[in-house]
């Protein structure tokens, strides 16, 4: 039970694993790795990486409770055919033309190595 306002969650005190999932969103090498895109642009990924122990504890608890784990990644096809005009414009403005940043074919698209991913995860 999570105490919250205006009501606790879940509202009836039950959290059934077959009706729940844990979404782990965009914890990718480009964002979290010391050699990823953010780091190469001069940003320190340490504050982002600081959440990984807590995320892994949450993943372990959810897995132990029988809750499915779903990992998402943000990325585009190598030919960028699935990218909106705005995303293409933004990519060009960021100086990413000709790079593999945010492309599914690039190493930065992969889930960060420090994230606990199991074969049964999605």
Contact 26, 72 (CB under 8 A): yes
Mean pLDDT estimate for the chain: 91
Q: Is the preceding peptide bond at 70 cis, omega within 30 degrees of 0?
A: no
Q: How far is CA 30 from CA 8, 16, 26, 64, 82, in A?
A: 36, 34, 10, 29, 19
What pLDDT score does 63 carry?
Answer: 96
Q: Each residue of 46-101: pLDDT tens digit?
A: 999 999 999 999 999 999 999 999 999 999 998 889 999 998 898 899 888 778 88
> Domains, the chain, ranges and CATH?
23-109 (3.40.50.850)
Residue 1 has pLDDT above 80, yes or no: no
Q: What is the mean pLDDT of residues 5-18?
A: 81
Contact 37, 108 (CB under 8 A): yes
Enter the pTM of the model. 0.80
For tokens 């960060």, what's the residue? Answer: 112
Q: What is the mean pLDDT of residues 6-23?
A: 84
Cα distance between residue 89 and residue 99, in whole Å: 14
């Amino acid at each position: 039970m999570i105490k919250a306002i205006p009501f606790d969650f879940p509202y009836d005190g039950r959290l059934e694993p077959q009706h729940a999932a844990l979404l782990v969103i965009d914890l990718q090498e480009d964002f979290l790795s010391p050699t990823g895109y953010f780091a190469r642009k001069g940003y320190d990924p340490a504050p982002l990486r600081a959440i990984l122990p807590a995320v892994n504890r949450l993943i372990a608890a959810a897995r132990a409770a029988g809750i499915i784990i779903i990992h998402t990644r943000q990325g585009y096809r190598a030919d960028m055919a699935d990218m909106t005009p705005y995303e293409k414009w933004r990519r060009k403005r960021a100086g990413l033309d000709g790079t593999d940043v945010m492309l599914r074919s690039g190493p930065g698209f992969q889930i960060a190595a420090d994230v606990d991913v199991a074969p049964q995860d999605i």
